[in-house]
Amino acid sequence: MRSNLSLFFAIFLLFGCKNNGKNIDEMQISKVKTLESIKNFGIVIHGGAGTILKENMSDSLEMAYREKLKEAISVGHRILKNGGTSMEAVTKTIKVMEDSPLFNAGKGAVFTHEETNELDASVMDGSNLNAGAVAGVTRVKNPIDLALTVMNNSPHVMLSGKGAETFAQEKGFSLVDPSYFYTERRFKSLQKIKQREKDKVTRASFKDPFIKNSKFGTVGCAALDKNGNLAAGTSTGGMTNKRWNRIGDAPIIGAGTYANNATCAVSSTGWGEYFIRAMVAHDISAMMEYKGVTLKEAAREVIQNKVPALGGDGGIVSIDKDGNVAMEFNTAGMYRAHMNSEGELVIRIYKEE
């Protein structure tokens, strides 16, 4: 009897030690994964792409752009550093740019042909592929917040126009008077384009550099948080002198915005019609998922080859599941910034930087 008890305890101790060792191994693996996730969080933003040349930029205006990019990305980075979600970082960062008259989003939105402002925005959560978007709103101060609310508090992905604003009111948004979006700089740009359209030589010609560049202007953000979740968002006032309630790529999931934890998060800026046709944001993710290429390789192929082959131009900012960043564009410049987990900040405007 005593020998049987001894044998039982010996077996119990043997398996107990093995299980304990297994638990220790699992704890160590979990710890390593956590440390890797914390090490790789990051955020990247853009403030639009186009014919952005140093010779056309005053020192004071350039400084203003750089300071606002720094302010915006620092807000998102602080959220990520403190353990906040990538979606929170994306939306709060974009709001800083929406509230600035420097960018074609929110306060700085461009004017339509009818001299109104129509705003679009979208967000996407890479952890579950959930998304929300709004298009053609005229009284929502921060369209990115409304896009987030559509995602979290409605059965839909995209709402537009008056319906989107009715939804906003029902969800507690305070609508602003459309005059809030008026800026002298954007209004004068519209008048210049209208005048050029009257010219028999350049009438409605996108070959005219001034008219062509009126297509550009968007803000966007992509982020990876400490939990390994990706998110992306984009907001815009669209194209200067646009008509007929035109909608570009910014609110289109897969074109202007895309996020998938398996691959990357992307925000686009450029000639929206071509970015829609090329489904730019999703195409970058799909190339990574199905072809196994890196984020930089996928971004370069789409922006430098696929979009130009259709006749379009612009750029993207993106971050992958490992924290690698791509800021790819085929124009003369793109307002852009990146900040990694170490707090290292990169701010660039021109192509040659």
Q: Which pLDDT tens digit goes with each residue over 149-195?
A: 999 999 999 999 999 999 999 999 999 999 999 999 999 999 998 88
Q: How far is CA 6 from CA 15, 16, 18, 19, 190, in A?
A: 14, 15, 19, 20, 91
Select the more confidently predicted residue: 31 or 124. 124
For residue range 87-113, list pLDDT tens digits in order.
Answer: 999 999 999 999 999 999 999 999 999
Alpha-carbon span 117 to 109, nearest angstrom: 6
Using pLDDT thresholds of 50, 70 and 90, give the confidence band for residue 29.
very low
pLDDT(217) > 80: no
Question: Do residues 311 and 346 both lie within one domain?
Answer: yes
Q: How far is CA 353 from CA 61, 175, 213, 220, 268, in A?
A: 17, 40, 21, 20, 20
Residue 236 three-state SS: strand
State the pLDDT at residue 298: 98
Question: Do residues 30 and 52 both lie within one domain?
Answer: no
Do 145 and 220 meet the contact criterion of CB atoms below 8 Å apart?
A: no
Question: Do residues 327 and 278 both lie within one domain?
Answer: yes
State the pLDDT at residue 199: 74
Question: Do residues 18 and 154 both lie within one domain?
Answer: no
Question: Do residues 133 and 34 both lie within one domain?
Answer: no
State the pLDDT at residue 198: 78
218 is catalytic: yes
State the pLDDT at residue 216: 58
Q: How far is CA 132 from CA 39, 91, 135, 143, 345, in A?
A: 29, 12, 11, 11, 29
State the pLDDT at residue 51: 80
Question: Do residues 168 and 112 both lie within one domain?
Answer: yes
Catalytic residue chosen out of the listed positions 91, 112, 149, 218: 218
State the pLDDT at residue 40: 85
Beta-carbon contacts of 81 under 8 Å, excluding residues fewer than 6 positions away, are 41, 341, 343
Using pLDDT thresholds of 50, 70 and 90, give the confidence band for residue 197.
confident
DSSP state, residue 263:
S
Reported in sequence order, the residue ranges of 191-290 that DSSP labels E, i.e. its strands, are: 219-224, 230-236, 257-259, 264-270
CATH number at residue 228: 3.60.20.30
**% of the chain beyond a pLDDT of 90:** 78
User: What is the pTM (predicted TM-score) of this model?
Assistant: 0.86
Question: Do residues 127 and 18 both lie within one domain?
Answer: no
30-39, 143-152, 282-291, 328-337: lowest mean pLDDT where? 30-39
Domain that holds residue 21: 1-40
State the pLDDT at residue 56: 87
Question: Do residues 33 and 65 both lie within one domain?
Answer: no
Question: Do residues 206 and 308 both lie within one domain?
Answer: yes
Question: Do residues 26 and 55 both lie within one domain?
Answer: no
Query: Across residues 37-57, what is the average pLDDT?
Result: 86
Question: Do residues 147 and 223 both lie within one domain?
Answer: yes
- Total tally of structural domains belonging to the chain: 2
Question: Do residues 179 and 217 both lie within one domain?
Answer: yes
